[in-house]
Structure 1
Amino acid sequence: MADFEIGSLLILGIALLATGVIAGIIAGLLGVGGGIVIVPVLYHMLTALGVGENVVMHVAVGTSLATILATGTSSALAHYKRGSVDLDLLKRWCIPIAVGVIAGTIIGGNVSGMVLSLIFATVALLVAINMIFRKDGIALAGQLPGTPLKELLGLLIGGISVMMGIGGGTLSVPILTLFSYPIRKAVGTASAIGLIIAVPGTIGAIYYGLGVEGRPSWSLGYVNLIGFLLIIPASTLSAPWGARIAHAINPRALKIVFALFLGFTGLRMFYDVLG
């Protein structure tokens, strides 16, 4: 395993605590599970600390999925108390999402870090473009499609999300709103979807990373315990703040700033992989 010096550990710890706060707020505000922030930060921080490119993206994804276990729970409970979690939709999507997660976990555990980076970069850019250019109120239909397209959407959300290390809201919120789903209920339901993704995804990340060379110290499989222990308390405490903000303000300006961050992250990952 790659060892960190004390100074590097201190810098990493401070960065991860700040990342946890930001990720928690974004999880509660936009229902994205925080992973869309945690993964690129971990990727760049671990790379700077000398973790090899063959495992750095796997560790970033695995650690992010583990943190979503706590962040998603906190965010989902906060939204549930406000009546913005659609339990009927969760029941209909639970199995397709779980199947997608299992398939994505198997694929992600057997492909290179470069492939995972390209998947993350591509989806991040698409989400950024959707956030910036899609006008509010534009929809493809007045309700979710019927079987089997509805189940296919859940399958894709689960599979792609687990390979990116995200909670599902990054994909499910824009998809749901494309079918005229109320934005606040989409955000609340997405936070619960994150748990369906994170539980099997974390187990898979631990399993496929066991014994792999080059992982940073204090890693259980592809889950780095330092990142897990520092990000979780900060993100768990701050997630309800985001949920409260989501019910109090128009998040359009924040979405644009967040979209620019995603766009920059995606382009930077493309550069790192292909440059």
Structure 2
Amino acid sequence: MPPISEVLPFVVALAAAGVLAGLLAGMFGIGGGAILVPIFFHVFGILGVPEEVRMHLALGTSLAIIVPTSIRSFLAHRQRGAVDTQLLKGWIVAVPLGALLAAAIAAEASSTELRLIFAFIALALAFRMIFNRASWQLGKDLPRNPFKFLVGVGIGVLSGLMGIGGGVLNNTFMTLYGRLIHQAVATSSGVGVLISLPGLIGYIIAGWGAAGLPPFSTGYISWLAVALLIPITLYMAPLGARLAHAMSKRQLEVGFGIFLITVSLQFFLTVFV
């Protein structure tokens, strides 16, 4: 282990990430994983976690933190009556199934493959948000099953492979089918609950007995990082929800898009530089 003087700056960085993650959870209906995963990846590297398991540990730990954050964010949005509860009920099997499949895929994927998956999906979603036009719609209402069920599975898989709460994907899906961004954001917080709980279990099983994991880890979950960040993200999520309802649709889209581009480029750098 490196000395305290070297670890302390990264503890501070984790705390700052927790503040941003909590705000993002409320503002965009996500669990904050999009910012936690890249920071975890670098912090675990400084602490000597082997590269072979570092990205896996970052993804699993992010999902663990998303559990309470998503629940808190969902409750805050539900109080405002903006959540599409019918959609969530229809996905109560599909989304968790996808999250479990993601953990199984991650167990077989390399660290580089997982970073590239994260970066490509984030970049695609960023351009969708920034250059969004009202004409970019596939319909005026959400599609029926089985297509809707398959979309739920897909959101669970892709989100589980990115260590995120599914907000970025669900926001895109709902707005493409005529739903307002504020309702999409509110509903996405509930999607985060459906992803993070089974995702947490899946990453514990996937990483059980893996070599090189840091102390106080269970599978691909670092409980030390979880204990540090959960209180911060829980405190900040309701504030983020209030900010979301005070912003315009376009402000939410552009702000989120810029954020995703930044995260995506950062991961490409870790792979190619």
TM-score, structure 2 length as denominator?
A: 0.94
How big is the shift at 1:60? 0.7
Aligned to 1:139: 137
Distance 1:48 1:255 in 2: 34
- What's the CA shift string for 1:123-146, capped at 9, x where partnerless? 111111112111256322101112
- What's the CA shift string for 1:173-224, capped at 9, x where partnerless? 1111000012222111110111111111111112222221222333222111
- What's the CA shift string for 1:61-97, capped at 9, x where partnerless? 0110000011001100001111111111111111111
Distance 1:255 1:108, change over 3 A: same
Distance 2:105 2:240 in 1: 33
Runs of 4+ off more than 3 Å: 251-255
Return the letter of the residue paired with 1:113: S
Residue of 213, 217, 220 corresponding to 1:219 = 217
Distance 1:141 1:241 in 2: 33
Alignment check: 8 A CA contact 1:172 1:186 kept: yes
Residue 124 (str. 1) matches residue 122 (str. 2): yes
Instruction: Give me the identity figure in percent.
Output: 42
Aligned to 1:162: 160
Q: What are the within-5 Å matches in structure 2 for residues 72-87 of structure 1?
A: 72-87=70-85
Aligned to 1:36: 34
Alignment check: 8 A CA contact 2:100 2:198 kept: yes
Quick check: 232-241 or 248-257, which moved more? Answer: 248-257
- Runs of 5+ consecutive residues of structure 2 not aligned to the other structure: none
Residue of 227, 230, 237 corresponding to 2:228 = 230
Distance 1:95 1:116 in 2: 25
Residue of 14, 17, 37 corresponding to 1:16 = 14
Q: What are the within-5 Å matches in structure 2 for residues 79-98 of structure 1?
A: 79-98=77-96
TM-score, structure 1 length as denominator?
A: 0.93
Residue of 106, 112, 115 corresponding to 1:114 = 112
Return the letter of the residue paired with 1:87: T
Distance 2:135 2:35 in 1: 26
Quick check: 16-25 or 216-225, which moved more? Answer: 216-225
Alignment check: 8 A CA contact 2:31 2:66 kept: yes
Distance 1:105 1:49 in 2: 24
Distance 1:136 1:7 in 2: 51
Distance 1:217 1:260 in 2: 35
Quick check: 91-100 or 163-172, which moved more? Answer: 91-100
Quick check: 257-266 or 87-96, which moved more? Answer: 257-266
Distance 1:162 1:4 in 2: 31
Residue of 201, 205, 212 corresponding to 2:199 = 201
Corresponding residue SS for 1:55: helix
- What's the CA shift string for 1:18-75, capped at 9, x where partnerless? 1111111111011121111111111122224432211111111011000001100110
Number of residue pairs matched? 273
Return the letter of the residue paired with 2:98: G
Alignment check: 8 A CA contact 2:44 2:54 kept: yes
Distance 1:174 1:5 in 2: 44
- What is the RMSD of the two structures over their aligned residues, measured on CA atoms? 1.7
Alignment check: 8 A CA contact 1:36 1:170 kept: no
Distance 1:258 1:84 in 2: 20
Distance 1:230 1:137 in 2: 43
Corresponding residue SS for 1:109: helix
Residue 243 (str. 1) matches residue 241 (str. 2): yes
Alignment check: 8 A CA contact 2:34 2:263 kept: no
Alignment check: 8 A CA contact 1:173 1:183 kept: yes
Distance 1:61 1:129 in 2: 23
Alignment check: 8 A CA contact 2:97 2:156 kept: yes
Alignment check: 8 A CA contact 1:8 1:49 kept: no
